[in-house]
Amino acid sequence: PHFTVAQIRQTFLDFFAKRGHTVVASSSLVPANDPTLMFTNSGMVQFKDVFLGTDQRPYKRATSVQTSLRAGGKHNDLENVGYTARHHTFFEMLGNWSFGDYFKKESIQWGWELLTKVFQLPPEKLLATVYFEDDEAYDIWTKIIGLPPERVIRIGDNKGGRYKSDNFWMMADTGPCGPSSEIFYDHGPHIAGGPPGSPDEDGDRFIEIWNHVFMQFDMQEDGSVKPLPAPCVDTGMGLERIAAILQGVHSNYEIDLFAALIQAAARETHTSDLHNPSLKVIADHIRATAFLVADGVIPSNEGRGYVQRRIIRRAIRHGYKLGQKTPFFHKLVPDLVAQMGEAYPKLREQQQRITETLKAEEERFFETLANGMEILDEALSGNRQQLAGDIAFKLHDTYGFPLDLTQDVCRERHVSVDADGFEAAMNRQKEQARAAGKFKMERALEYTGAATAFTGYHSIQEQATVL
Ligand code: ATP
Ligand code: MG
Ligand code: MG
Ligand code: MG
């Protein structure tokens, strides 16, 4: 059956509500009082203290649709956007939780029931992974669910770092964590990619749709683990990924909601090829940046605000690539509100503020973007393999190009960026600024000191540094 995004949200929540789960609203993208985390990257974040036992709730089972952001921090998918069919920076995560109540068996059984009975996915297209030592989960999949053993894959702890997957989920470097079991959907042999645990697992044929984490530990700063007060369940399913399957498309970017945003991006950038990857980036980034503004994050030069700025500027640069020379990005806000305003009224309420914030950032960046791109194009002309750190730094310092934006451009042209050189240039400048600050202070003292009169700047250059 075909499900719209709105129907999937509701069906998921209803399914778990019927099984004794309290429906909890999505929390903000900015985690409350948690310095270990830049952004809410999954549904469990608002329950972190419940897992740790330092917060109590009136329920032992919960379900939610959580807005999540994976840009900056431990889970970072910024570099995947525009390149894979399945990654966004901002996405919605469907989840169900047990706080010391049910454990692996119920979690896996309900997951299977929802996918195969309610959503009616063909069981033969589903695979599961388990943590390599987790015989209990392995047995549930093979004996209770009846999945053939060749479709239940044990995934190592990845100590050797051979492949990407490790089936041990951690919210951040510290905090709740545990072994996991993931459900994958096979989109078919016409798409490149291997099954989980194989060398080409990064392809988009076998797409992970639902992670069931069996939370049992609290990771400490020194890498040791403490057991949680009680074993818990934490699951997360990407709304856009399950929507793609239920709408009979391969990529997240082809689902109803994204098709509309990509149309809007095409309209504002006058692009006729709807498959142009820059449109995906713009469609993804309008969601991330609008929700960030709605949750109080405005562009700035540090912390969360700098991630916000980086995402906006990346989107603008992709628009520029498509020929835009003036602000266009904020014009997608009404389209976003049309798609998501009903589920997230804060978008409607803050539509004007969101639009103005994005527009101001656009106007600012368009002042330097063209000149910066000229310098970058010039530097990349010829047969270069690597962009010098000095140039990347100059682009950053004078033209407002975040390093990742420069890297994004270079990657399109198969050129790497000397990130160490960038860092060194940055440190040199900081050093100079410190010296200049000292100089300024000495001069200030000269002003106040009666004995020595200010004699003026010694050179234009010196003056420039002081100012
Ligand atoms: P992947 O291996 O595909 O990057 P993940 O293992 O990093 O996914 P989890 O941390 O297990 O993802 O998150 C739970 C679920 O959230 C995933 O199974 C997937 O359905 C969804 N998800 C994760 N990252 C993204 C993303 N960047 N964009 C859209 N959905 C995502
Ligand atoms: Mg990931
Ligand atoms: Mg994964
Ligand atoms: Mg996972």
Give the residue-averaged pLDDT of 301-320.
97
CA distances from 247 to 19, 117, 229, 241, 370 (A): 26, 16, 41, 10, 40
CA of 332 to the centre of ligand 4 (A): 31
Whole-number Å distance, alpha carbon 458 to ligand 4 midpoint, is 60
Q: Model confidence over 217-233: pLDDT tens digits? A: 999 999 888 999 999 99
| Residue minimizing CA distance to atom 25 of ligand 1 | 87
Of the CA atoms within 13 Å of residue 327, those in its CB half-sphere come to 17
Q: Relative to the CA of 80, which ligand 1 atom is closest?
A: 27
Residue reference for tokens 């798609």: 339
Q: Tell me which of 83, 86, 291 to substitute to probe ligand 1's pocket, judged by most ligand atoms within 8 Å of the beta carbon.
A: 86
Ligand 2 centroid, distance to 77 Cα (angstroms): 7
Per-residue pLDDT band for 459 (boundaries 50, 70, 90) equals very low
CA distances 235 to 18, 37, 45, Å, are 17, 19, 12
Q: What pLDDT was estimated at residue 165?
A: 57
How high is the pLDDT of residue 456? 40
Which tokens hold the place of 452? 């020595």
Considering only CA atoms, which residue is closest to atom 26 of ligand 1?
Answer: 87
Q: How far apart are CA 406 and CA 415, in angstroms?
A: 10
Nearest-atom number in ligand 1 for the CA of 70 is 27
Q: In this structure, which amino acid lies at residue 345?
A: P
Q: Which residues pair with 238 in a beta bridge?
A: 93
Instruction: Please write the tens of the pLDDT for every residue from 237-290.
Output: 999 999 999 999 999 999 999 999 999 999 999 999 999 999 999 999 999 999
Nearest ligand 1 atom, CA 81: 27
Task: Compute, in angstroms, the gap from residue 86 CA to the centroid of ligand 4.
Answer: 12
**Best residue among 40, 64, 87, 184 to mutate for probing ligand 1, ranked by most atoms within 8 Å of CB:** 87
Phi, psi of 119 (to 5 degrees): -80, -15
Residue at token pair 């549904």? 43
pLDDT at residue 159, rounded to an integer:
59
pLDDT band at 447 (very low <50, low <70, confident <90, very high): low
- Take residue 216 and report the two structure tokens written for it: 């049992």
243 burial via Cβ count (<10 Å: 0-12, 13-18, 19+): buried
Cα 178 to middle of ligand 3, angstroms? 14
Indicate the top mutation candidate among 84, 89, 171, 211 to test ligand 1's pocket, ranked by most ligand atoms within 8 A of CB: 211
Burial class for 290, CB neighbours closer than 10 Å (0-12, 13-18, 19+): buried
Pick the closest to residue 312 from 364, 245, 377, 389 (CA basis): 364
Q: What is the pLDDT of residues 26-64, one digit of tens each?
A: 999 999 988 889 999 999 999 999 999 999 999 999 999
Q: Cα separation of 39 and 71, whole Å?
A: 8
Query: How many CA atoms does the CB half-sphere of 80 hold within 13 Å?
Result: 18
pLDDT of residue 460: 35
Q: Tell me what pLDDT residue 349 has.
A: 98
H or E stretch covering 101? none
Q: Which of 179, 172, 242, 178 is nearest to 208 (CA)?
A: 242
Percent of all residues in the chain with a pLDDT value above 90, rounded to a whole number = 83
What's the distance, CA 280 to chain centroid?
Answer: 14
Amino acid letter for position 177: C
| φ, ψ at 350 (rounded to 5°) | -105, 15
* Closest atom of ligand 1 to CA, residue 236: 14
Residue nearest to atom 12 of ligand 1 (CA): 211
Pairing of strands 22-23, 61-69: parallel
State mean pLDDT over 87-116. Answer: 98
pLDDT score of 461 more than 70: no
Nearest CA to ligand 1 atom 4: 87
Q: Which atom of ligand 1 is nearest to the CA of 182?
A: 18
Confidence (pLDDT) at 455? 39
Looking at residue 172, its pLDDT comes to 85
**Backbone Cα Rg of the chain:** 25
Ligand 1: atom nearest CA of 183 is 18
Report the separation in Å between the CA atom of 172 and the middle of ligand 3, taken as the mean of its atom positions. 15
- Ligand 2 mean position to 454 CA, how many Å? 59
Q: Whose CA is nearest to atom 24 of ligand 1?
A: 87
Q: Which atom of ligand 1 is nearest to the CA of 208?
A: 18
Percent helix / strand / coil, the chain, rounded to 5: 50, 15, 35
Closest CA to 96 of 10, 187, 15: 15
For 119, what's the count of Cα atoms within 13 Å in the CB-facing half-sphere?
32
pLDDT score recorded for residue 466: 32
**Which numbered atom of ligand 1 lies nearest the CA of 88?**
28
User: Rounded to the nearest whole angstrom, what is the distance from the C-alpha of residue 343 to the centroid of ligand 3?
Assistant: 27
Q: Which residues surround ligand 4, an ion (CB under 5 A)?
A: 211
pLDDT confidence bin for 156, thresholds 50/70/90:
confident
Residues lining ligand 1, CB < 6 A? 42, 70, 77, 86-88, 91, 93, 208-211, 236-238, 240-241
For residue range 338-354, list pLDDT tens digits in order. Answer: 999 999 999 999 999 99
> What pLDDT does residue 446 have?
63
Please name the residue whose Cα sits nearest to atom 3 of ligand 1. Answer: 208
Mean pLDDT for 382-400 is 94
Task: Say whether 459 sits in a helix, a strand or coil.
Answer: coil
Dihedral sign computed on CA atoms, order 180, 183, 186, 187: negative
**Cα–Cα dist 207/101, whole Å:** 29
pLDDT at 150: 96
**CB neighbours (10 Å) of residue 432?**
11
CA angle 402, 403, 408 (to 5 degrees): 100
Distance between CA atoms of 341 and 351, rounded to whole angstroms?
9
pLDDT at 405 > cutoff 50: yes
Compute CA distances 114 → 16, 87, 185, whole Å: 9, 23, 14
- Who's near 39: CB < 8 A, 6+ residues apart? 29, 30, 31, 68, 69, 70, 71, 72, 73, 304, 307
At residue 440, the pLDDT reads: 74
Instruction: Write the residue with the smallest CA distance to atom 23 of ligand 1.
Output: 238
At 436, the pLDDT band (50, 70, 90 cuts) reads confident
pLDDT of residue 383: 74
Which residues face 206 on adjacent strands? Answer: 186
Using most ligand atoms within 8 A of CB, pick from 107, 241, 254, 257 the residue to mutate for ligand 1. Answer: 241
Structural contact between residues 286 and 333, judged by C-beta atoms closer than 8 angstroms: yes
The sign of the dihedral angle between the CA atoms of 379, 384, 386, 389 is negative
Q: Which of 153, 261, 262, 244 is nearest to 198 (CA)?
A: 153
Element (H, E) at 240: helix 239-246
Residue 68 C-alpha to ligand 2 middle, in angstroms?
Answer: 12
Residue type, 8: I
- Note whether 22 and 62 are within 8 A (CB): yes
